[in-house]
């Protein structure tokens, strides 16, 4: 395990997240936010582990800007900005909810408190189900609901979701945390009128390679090679390939690759009752004495 690379990536991701937290994004388009945040990651010497997610209000996750996306942040929006940095494929995944409307401060704080309480109990051998219980209890005591079908995850080199889940509710069974394994913990919180679940939306604008098998379409196969060389198994956005291809052609070739199952498209995730959702997230590595939170603020 490349602990050094995890720690370097975490330090960069944390710096960028804190910059995101402090900045006023009202009046900015989601395109400007994604491009600026991704540039901040690169400027510090890491690569992006996935496209920056700017998921607004009832969209819980997986919205990233389209090329020149005109959606603009207003002062009543609740925006989850989820970002990832990677060094040699070792990932730091972290998120913050920015909000300029005081009536949602409690919702945002509930996600932060749940994350903080989860981090304070971590060490090798702790059960993932107990982390879920802590997250659920914290959120419910504050009068909100956790999103039951979203969870944190184990991380491996070039793999964001590496098979193990860190739940946001108490669940039977599950696994115990291993030493020197990286995980992400990400409580998602909705209002008491929320259903506490997410459903798939129509929009799919985050992609990842599924297979390197050729599709017999020369142009599409060239794009597939480009994706592999630049992003490996990590997620990417249409924005990231329009530096090399025209938007229209890039879209058509991507659609072809999705149809051939060479590339997978991830739908946005929407709260079932269309209630607002807040998120907080850290990447951490458990050890015998406790935990290294790689994305902790300095």
Residue 53's pLDDT is 98
Q: How far apart are CA 285 and CA 262, in angstroms?
A: 32
Confidence of residue 1 (pLDDT cuts 50, 70, 90): low
Residue 195's pLDDT is 98
| Angle at CA of residue 265, ends 259 and 270, nearest 5° | 135
Catalytic residue among 38, 58, 69, 281: 281
**How are beta strands 165-167 and 236-237 bridged, if at all?**
unpaired
Is 58 one of the annotated active-site residues of the chain? no
Share of the chain above pLDDT 90, in %: 96
Residue-wise pLDDT for 209-239, tens only, equals 999 999 999 999 999 999 999 999 999 999 9
H-type helices in the chain, by residue range?
A: 3-22, 30-43, 105-120, 128-141, 218-231, 238-241, 247-259
Residue 118's pLDDT is 98
**Residue 209 in contact with residue 224, Cβ under 8 Å?**
yes
- Map out the domains of the chain with their CATH numbers: 3-200+273-293 (3.90.230.10), 205-268 (1.10.10.10)
Residue 298's pLDDT is 83
Catalytic residue among 66, 93, 113, 136: 93
Average pLDDT over residues 30-59: 98
Catalytic residue among 153, 221, 256, 271: 153
What is the sign of the dihedral through the CA atoms of 81, 159, 133 and 18? Answer: negative
Residue 68's pLDDT is 92
pLDDT at 2 over 80: no
Is 161 one of the annotated active-site residues of the chain? yes
Q: What is the DSSP letter of 278?
A: E
Is 282 one of the annotated active-site residues of the chain? no
Is 153 one of the annotated active-site residues of the chain? yes
Average pLDDT over residues 139-154: 98
Catalytic residue among 40, 66, 69, 186: 186
Residue-wise pLDDT for 163-207, tens only, equals 999 999 999 888 999 998 999 999 999 999 999 999 999 999 999
Catalytic residue among 82, 113, 136, 271: 82
Share of the chain above pLDDT 70, in %: 100
Confidence of residue 275 (pLDDT cuts 50, 70, 90): very high
Confidence of residue 93 (pLDDT cuts 50, 70, 90): very high
Residue-wise pLDDT for 99-120, tens only, equals 999 999 999 999 999 999 999 9
What's the predicted TM-score (pTM) here?
0.97
Q: What is the DSSP letter of 4?
A: H
Catalytic residue among 156, 161, 252, 274: 161
Average pLDDT over residues 43-47: 98
CA atoms within 13 A on the CB side of 216: 2
pLDDT at 152 over 70: yes
């Amino acid at each position: 395990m490349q602990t050094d690379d995890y720690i370097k990536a975490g330090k960069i991701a944390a710096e960028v997240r804190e910059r995101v937290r402090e900045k006023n994004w009202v009046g900015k388009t989601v395109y400007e936010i994604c491009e600026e945040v991704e540039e901040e990651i690169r400027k510090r010497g890491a690569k992006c582990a996935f496209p920056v997610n700017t998921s607004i209000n009832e969209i819980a996750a997986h919205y990233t800007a389209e090329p020149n996306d005109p959606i603009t942040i207003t002062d009543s929006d609740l925006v989850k900005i989820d970002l990832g940095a990677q060094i040699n494929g070792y990932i730091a995944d972290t998120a913050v909810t920015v909000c300029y409307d005081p009536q949602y401060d409690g919702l945002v704080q509930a996600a932060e408190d749940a994350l903080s309480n989860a981090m304070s109990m971590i060490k090798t051998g702790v059960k993932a189900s107990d982390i879920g219980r802590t997250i659920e209890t914290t959120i419910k005591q504050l009068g909100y609901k956790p999103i039951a079908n979203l969870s944190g995850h184990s991380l491996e080199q070039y793999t964001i979701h590496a098979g193990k889940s860190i739940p946001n509710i108490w669940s039977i069974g599950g696994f115990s945390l291993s030493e020197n394994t990286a995980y992400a913990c990400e409580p998602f919180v909705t209002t008491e009128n929320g259903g506490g679940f997410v459903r798939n939306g129509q929009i799919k604008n985050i992609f990842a390679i599924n297979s390197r098998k050729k599709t017999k379409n020369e142009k599409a196969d060239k794009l597939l090679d480009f994706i592999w060389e630049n992003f490996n198994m990590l997620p990417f956005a249409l924005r990231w390939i329009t530096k090399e291809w025209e938007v229209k052609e890039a879209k058509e070739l991507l659609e072809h690759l999705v149809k051939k199952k060479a590339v997978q498209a991830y739908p946005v995730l929407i709260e079932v009752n269309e209630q607002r959702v807040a998120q907080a997230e850290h990447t951490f590595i458990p050890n015998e004495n406790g935990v290294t939170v790689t994305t902790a603020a300095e």
